[in-house]
Homo-oligomer: A and B are copies of this chain.
Amino acid sequence: MRYSTLCYIERDGKYLMLHRVRKKNDVNRDKWIGVGGGMLEGESPEECVCREAREETGLTLCAPVLRSVVTFVMEGDEGEIMFLFKCADFSGTLSDCDEGVLEWIPKEALYGLDLWEGDRIFLKKIENPGEFFTLKLEYARDGRLLKAVENGTRGLIPERKDS
| Interface positions of A (Cβ within 8 A of B) | 1, 3, 39-47, 50, 62-66, 69, 71, 73, 78-79, 81, 83, 131-132, 134, 136, 149, 151-154
Identical chains bound together, number: 2
CB distance from A129 to the nearest CB of B (A): 12
A63 touches B1 (CB 8 A): no
B83 touches A39 (CB 8 A): no
B3 touches A44 (CB 8 A): no
Given contacts A41-B78, A45-B71, A46-B153, 10 further A-B contacts (CB under 8 A): A3-B3, A39-B81, A44-B149, A44-B152, A46-B136, A46-B151, A47-B136, A47-B152, A65-B151, A131-B132
